[in-house]
């Protein structure tokens, strides 16, 4: 699937660097050539000899290699690859990338490249959650870099949480998706997915019954057609697909901010089941039973309308804005009215009555509503619905 492709692999200095050896092996098994760049810190975890043996290529380590730099080697390295992959991308390396530093071979290559960049973050959970790291990641996503991972799990330091480097197989899959030639190559699509969780107190929240399966399938289908996908997801029960830029959120307000931060885009698809209301003021402490039968009074506020906000933008509106309408009665009439009210181009309508099994199920029955009227689709798997919709988006943007 990667036959003939050339990957420039930058190996950062973290314990996850040991996975880079298996990553090289899997790249070569998939038919790609790997040109390795090993940072000084990376050499503390894996040796140039082991990297070179697996890659069967010279390992590049020094910006001031006189032989290479006489021929402007760092420029040639950065331009000769089909894709630049940074794995592991440590907090330090991410910070340097976000601020534009170029004080060693790896960061100079990243500044000089005209190719797409895929980064696989790897660090301690506290470092990943730190505001500086999240700020730096937002900058890199805004610069158009793609991200795979990090995963959650046990860490070498003994802690548990997000920060583990994505497994080599997932990085290879993300690489294949990025390099896939397709009708959406060079296009940027935003996809929202999953429910939102609106806190009532520290242990309770308001949510919708959404697994995120349809939005996840759509994001993967768009990436497979070559699109750069910004995947803004609430706390879904299904994992995000490989090869997309994952932006995790909890609430509707966070989702709107993430969507606005991901703009501009060629298309935006709002598949998330956003809660219509939130608490006017979430309680700081857990609500307790009064003991006398009295019920707590909850005051609600209306959440922002993310679809309408983007569809009705005066400047920077994506050329194609698509909403989803999950209805339980009068599906076509309600969805058609919703399209007109929100100002979007298409609405994907479906009946989510409990008897349909669509919410949380593997199949879906949708009707695509556009300015030409309703177009019913047969009952299909959510994967096939995603493929069909992605193909229609590609046609519309052609």
Binding residue positions for CTP: 276, 286, 304-307, 324, 338, 342
Annotated binding site: 276, 286, 304-307, 324, 338, 342
Across-strand partners of 289? none
Peptide bond preceding 339 in cis form (omega within 30 of 0)? no
Burial class of residue 122, CB neighbours in 10 A (0-12, 13-18, 19+):
buried
Place of tokens 């696989």: 120
CA angle 89, 221, 338 (to 5 degrees): 115
The β-bridge relationship of strands 83-89 and 6-11 is: parallel
Q: State the DSSP string of 184-251.
A: TTT-EEEEEESB--EEEETTEEE-----SHHHHHHHHHHHHTT-EEEEEE-S-SSPPPTTSEEEE-SS
- Which of these, 147, 145, 146, 165, lies nearest to 155 by C-alpha position? 165
Burial class of residue 361, CB neighbours in 10 A (0-12, 13-18, 19+):
middle
Question: Tokens in use for 110?
Answer: 């990243």
Residues 6+ apart with CB under 8 A from 226: 180, 181, 182, 183, 184, 185, 186, 187
Annotated catalytic residue, options 157, 203, 301, 337: 157
Question: Tokens in use for 316?
Answer: 């920077």
Place of tokens 């997309």: 244
Question: Tokens in use for 200?
Answer: 């009532």
157 is catalytic: yes
Segment holding 118, helix H or strand E: strand 117-121
Active site residues: 157
């Amino acid at each position: 699937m990667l036959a003939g492709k050339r990957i420039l692999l930058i190996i950062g200095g973290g314990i996850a660097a040991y996975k880079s050896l298996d990553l090289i092996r899997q790249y070569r098994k998939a038919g790609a050539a790997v040109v390795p760049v090993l940072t000084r810190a990376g050499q503390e975890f894996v040796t140039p000899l082991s990297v070179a043996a697996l890659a069967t290529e010279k390992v590049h380590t020094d910006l001031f290699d006189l032989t290479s730099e006489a021929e402007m080697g760092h420029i040639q390295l950065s331009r000769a690859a089909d894709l630049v992959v940074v794995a592991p991308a440590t907090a330090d390396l991410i910070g340097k990338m976000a601020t534009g530093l170029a004080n060693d071979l790896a960061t100079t290559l990243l500044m000089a490249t005209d190719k797409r960049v895929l980064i696989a973050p790897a660090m301690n959970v506290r470092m990943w959650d730190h505001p500086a790291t999240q700020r730096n990641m937002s900058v890199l996503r805004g610069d158009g870099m793609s991200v795979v991972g990090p995963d959650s799990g046990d860490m070498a330091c003994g802690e548990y949480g997000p920060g583990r480097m994505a497994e080599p197989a997932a990085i290879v899959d993300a690489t294949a998706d990025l390099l896939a030639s397709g009708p959406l190559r060079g296009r940027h699509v935003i996809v929202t997915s999953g429910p939102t969780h609106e806190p009532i107190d520290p242990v309770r929240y308001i949510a919708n019954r959404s697994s995120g399966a349809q939005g996840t399938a759509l994001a993967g289908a768009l990436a497979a057609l070559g699109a750069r996908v910004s995947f803004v997801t609430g706390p879904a029960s299904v994992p995000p697909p490989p090869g997309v830029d994952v932006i995790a959120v909890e609430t509707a307000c966070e989702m709107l901010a993430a969507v606005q931060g991901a703009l501009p885009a060629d298309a935006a698809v709002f598949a998330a089941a956003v809660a219509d209301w939130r608490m006017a003021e979430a309680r700081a402490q857990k609500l307790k039973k009064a003991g006398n039968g009295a019920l707590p009074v909850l005051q609600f506020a209306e959440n922002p309308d993310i679809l309408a906000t983007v569809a009705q933008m005066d400047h920077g509106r994506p050329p194609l804005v698509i909403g989803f309408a999950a209805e339980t009665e009068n599906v076509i009439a309600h969805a058609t009215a919703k399209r007109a009210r929100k100002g979007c181009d298409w609405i994907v309508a479906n009946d989510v009555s409990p008897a349909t099994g669509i919410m949380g199920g593997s199949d879906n029955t949708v009707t695509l509503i556009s300015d030409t009227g309703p177009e019913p689709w047969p009952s299909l798997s959510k994967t096939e619905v995603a493929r069909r919709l992605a193909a229609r988006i590609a046609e519309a943007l052609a």
